[in-house]
Structure 1
Amino acid sequence: MAVRHERPRSPRGNPVLLVHGFMSRADIDWPRERWIEPMLDQGRTVVTVDLPGHGEAARVERAEDVRTAKLVTHLARALEETGAPFDVIGYSLGARLAWALASQHPPLVSKLVLGGLSPMDPFAALDFAAARRFLDAGAVPADPMTAFIAQMVAQATPDPHSMFNLAEGLAAEPFAPAAESPRAPTLFAAGTNDPMAGGIAVLEAHVPGSRTVRVPGDHMGALASPEFRREAFGFLGLTA
């Protein structure tokens, strides 16, 4: 995991952690001029990460190296260096990890914005052996979801095996909102045309006082929408 800290000239307010989604990276999900610079201008320290196998982070050689608990521990250590509670914004996979971070290390998280989060774990049902056969030999998996994900990963990344190693590592500790849940004030957000996060509102039952907003767009369009940015900034007490 690659972690970057950026500090404003006159710090005020909680620092902010931004966690990107699967098959993305920090500078794609959080464009500097739309997210980082406005936060710095308003006094917030900003921490961004490239998750394992993404961006500047090292490739994932083995699934067992990237269990959810290990990634969350790595994030927690990076935040503890700052010595203050964080406001955290995560999208898709980043929201899943932000949920776990807030649940397992509550003193580190002040507020949560969780966008594009599926109430089900999309990795838990994948046939990883079949996905790797597709990558190596072109054999299309019989399972439709595995076939869809395998084809998407093969086309969208130069290192598909690393992506599947990460996904398999996370699937070994699947998302189970009933087993652990954050207590920080939480804003859920999902695109109106995003089937992956269409049931996100059911997660409100696990986080007292939370609420859900709908913004225009599909899974990626919602993240890029001005409405998502405005809702996230407003929830954290920032001006968008």
Structure 2
Amino acid sequence: MRDTAGLAARTLTPSRPADAPPVLLVHGFGSDGAADWIDTGIAGALTDAGRTVIVPDLRGHGDSPVPSTSAEVTAPALAADLVAVMDEAGAATFDVAGYSLGARIAWELPSAAPGRVERAVLGGLSPAEPFTAVDIEALHRAVQDGTECDDPFTGAIAGMVKAHGDRAAGLALCVEGLRATPFAGGPWNAKVLPVLVVGENDELTQGIDGLAESVGGARLVTVPGAHHEVLAGARFRDTVLDVLAR
């Protein structure tokens, strides 16, 4: 683990490098790079295939700095952090795989780093921004002093955030920043369309077929599992390896 471009990041290097760009792996909300990509075996499978893998922790997550304002953790700001990581790694181009929030931030990367994103696998991507339904003031109160949330969804998010202890306030700011910059699809500004991967029992990805069509017919792959199960599944890992193979 090292600090790179302001974020904590791991760089995994293969023993027999392939002639291919590095792979950026972007984790989900409330998780970190190790839990989503290293513990699931995906990062190791990519290095076994000869790929250099870069696994950062998003701002407010894992070992990365806690934000002081929500402006630091809007979707564009999080994407800019990732571009800075790849700049520091010397990556002229790169592939990317993201899951859930990681997929949502990865969607920003072709615009944030024009001409540099080659192939992309976006798993567990919600075509609508779930955080727009959060009562952000109630969320901050719940984190600060334990005030109960009247709205069940906000209460569920508060419970998830508070489970992270002293990092809860930073995660609440992440929710605020993402809520202020909701995902709305839009063009995919890279030459190769992303591959979208969804769990067959993942309610968060309902409507993803419309998003796939909106960018010109992105390939949609369905794998077993609910939202929290997909990452650990062999089908998801194999899809990442297949799509990013050179």
Give TM-score, length-normalised by structure 2. 0.88
Pair 1:65–1:156, CA change in 2 (3 A): closer
Given that 2:144 and 2:169 are in contact with CA atoms closer than 8 Å, whether structure 1 keeps it comes out as: no
Which residue is 1:18 aligned to? 25
Given that 1:215 and 1:227 are in contact with CA atoms closer than 8 Å, whether structure 2 keeps it comes out as: yes
Gaps of 5+ in 2: 1-6
Which of the residues 98, 101, 114 maps onto 1:93?
101
Query: What one-letter code is carried by the residue in structure 2 that aligns with 1:105?
Result: A
Query: What one-letter code is carried by the residue in structure 2 that aligns with 1:137?
Result: D
Given that 1:116 and 1:191 are in contact with CA atoms closer than 8 Å, whether structure 2 keeps it comes out as: yes
Deviation of 1:33 (Å): 7.1
Distance 1:33 1:20 in 2: 12
Which of the residues 85, 100, 105 maps onto 1:78?
85
Deviation of 1:181 (Å): 2.8
Distance 1:206 1:106 in 2: 20
Which residue is 2:130 aligned to? 122
Deviation of 1:30 (Å): 0.6
Which residue is 2:3 aligned to? none
Given that 1:186 and 1:207 are in contact with CA atoms closer than 8 Å, whether structure 2 keeps it comes out as: no
Distance 1:153 1:74 in 2: 22
Given that 1:188 and 1:201 are in contact with CA atoms closer than 8 Å, whether structure 2 keeps it comes out as: no
Which residue is 2:148 aligned to? 140
Which residue is 1:41 aligned to? 48
Which of the residues 49, 56, 68 maps onto 2:63?
56
Distance 1:9 1:127 in 2: 49
SS of alignment partner, residue 169 of structure 1: helix
Distance 1:9 1:151 in 2: 42
Given that 2:26 and 2:103 are in contact with CA atoms closer than 8 Å, whether structure 1 keeps it comes out as: yes
Given that 2:40 and 2:232 are in contact with CA atoms closer than 8 Å, whether structure 1 keeps it comes out as: no
Distance 1:33 1:14 in 2: 22
Distance 1:116 1:222 in 2: 8
Query: What one-letter code is carried by the residue in structure 1 that aligns with 2:38?
Result: P
* Greater displacement, 196-205 / 6-15: 6-15
SS of alignment partner, residue 71 of structure 1: helix
Give % identity.
Answer: 39
- Are 1:160 and 2:168 an aligned pair? yes
Which residue is 1:208 aligned to? 216
Given that 1:39 and 1:46 are in contact with CA atoms closer than 8 Å, whether structure 2 keeps it comes out as: yes
Which of the residues 16, 20, 35 maps onto 1:28?
35
Given that 1:72 and 1:100 are in contact with CA atoms closer than 8 Å, whether structure 2 keeps it comes out as: yes
Pair 1:56–1:205, CA change in 2 (3 A): same
Distance 1:120 1:224 in 2: 24
Which residue is 1:187 aligned to? 195
Number of residues of Structure 1 aligned to a counterpart in Structure 2: 237
Distance 1:99 1:157 in 2: 29
Distance 1:97 1:222 in 2: 18
Query: What one-letter code is carried by the residue in structure 2 that aligns with 1:2?
Result: A
Query: What one-letter code is carried by the residue in structure 2 that aligns with 1:70?
Result: A
- Are 1:109 and 2:132 an aligned pair? no
SS of alignment partner, residue 147 of structure 1: helix
Given that 1:110 and 1:185 are in contact with CA atoms closer than 8 Å, whether structure 2 keeps it comes out as: no
Residues 157-186 of structure 1 deviation map (CA, whole Å, 9 limit, x = unaligned): 5421111111111222211213x4333321
Pair 1:117–1:186, CA change in 2 (3 A): same
Distance 1:157 1:203 in 2: 35
Distance 1:32 1:54 in 2: 16
* Greater displacement, 62-71 / 184-193: 62-71
- Are 1:222 and 2:230 an aligned pair? yes
Give TM-score, length-normalised by structure 1. 0.90
